[in-house]
Amino acid sequence: MAHTPTTASRHLPVDELEAVIWDYNGVIGLQPTPDMWARLAALAGWPAAQLEIFMRAFWGRRAAYDAGELSDRAFWQDLVRGTREAGPGSELLAALPRADTRMWTRTDPAVLKVLHRAHAAGVPMTLLSNAPLPLASALDGIEWCATLMSRTVYSARIGVNKPETRAFQAGLAAAGWPTPGRTLFVDDRADNVEAAARLGMRTLHYRGDTTELASRLPQATVVRTAACPV
């Protein structure tokens, strides 16, 4: 039997798009390098040989941090080792969120090129990201985000992470309540894409193919932009 694509997976003509809602990390944002993880673990006092254990501990607490349920201190205090202390007002408590934020603010120039062309073609775009408060503030202060995104929505500010329905509702509200069937949601995580599709949104499970990404969006031929940050 031939496979029939779902409404969410079928391509909507680009001129019928009302809005695009973007995930950040894994689409626009690049993943941290192994060296970045190693430096963060060392800053928190972990021996190099325990990097994988540090990363498991980090991710085990991250969802609550992203959702705003944990403060910077609450997130980091149980991740520091040795004689390190991340108490209120300490240098370490300030340094750890800064180092963490730096890991997540590198961007993919090829994806930004697609976004700039879509923006020049008049596509309204909203950012919907699972991100703690320090990263949210950092992203809002970066040129590409301020220029390309009409609105930004971060999990720590709304108290809920994707793929919860309320997160997508917040994204749609920020986008001005476009018709879900004329809204494209782009994310690198299958669970988030599936959740958006259940709400009737068009979706793209992004796996690094910028040609496919560009094919789903209007693209202005000539775009004048400042150099894209990397």
The CATH number linked to 118 is: 3.40.50.1000
Number of domains in the chain: 2
Whether 79 is in a domain gets the answer: yes
Q: Single out the residue of 96, 89, 107, 88 nearest to residue 61, CA to CA.
A: 96
Spatial distance between the Cα atoms of 66 and 153, rounded to a whole number of angstroms: 12
Residues 146 and 120 in one domain: yes
57 lies in some domain: yes
Mean residue pLDDT of the chain comes to 91
pLDDT band, residue 14 (cuts 50/70/90): low
Residues 6+ apart with CB under 8 A from 71: none
Q: Among positive and negative, which fits the CA dihedral 197, 201, 206, 211?
A: positive
Boundary residue ending a domain (54, 86, 103): 103
Residue 13 pLDDT: 64
Are 50 and 149 in a shared domain?
no
Q: Are residues 26 and 38 in the same domain?
A: no
- Decide if 3 is inside a domain: no
Tell whether 8 is covered by a domain.
no
CA distance 208 to 189: 12
Domain shared by 134 and 92, yes or no: no
126-137: per-residue pLDDT in tens? 999 999 999 999
Task: Choose among 120, 115, 141: nearest CA to 28.
Answer: 115
Contact 28, 22 (CB under 8 A): yes
CA–CA dist 124, 175 (Å, integer):
8
Residues 135 and 182 in one domain: yes
| Same-domain check for residues 18 and 123 | yes
Last residue of a domain, one of 44, 75, 103: 103
- Any bridge partners for residue 21, and if so which? 126, 185
Would residue 25 count as lying in a domain? yes
User: Which tens digits make up the pLDDT trace of 147-189?
Assistant: 999 999 999 999 999 999 999 999 999 999 999 999 999 999 9
Q: What percent of the chain has pLDDT over 90?
A: 82
| DSSP string for 87-130 | -TT-HHHHHHHHHHHHHT--B-HHHHHHHHHHHHTT--EEEEE-
Predicted local distance difference test score (pLDDT) of residue 221: 72
Tens of pLDDT, residue by residue over 205-218, are 999 999 999 999 99
Residue 49, domain member (yes or no): yes
Measured distance CA(21)–CA(107) in Å, rounded: 17
* pLDDT of the residue at 56: 98
**Which domain range does residue 116 map to?**
14-31+106-215
Which H or E element spans position 186? Answer: strand 183-187
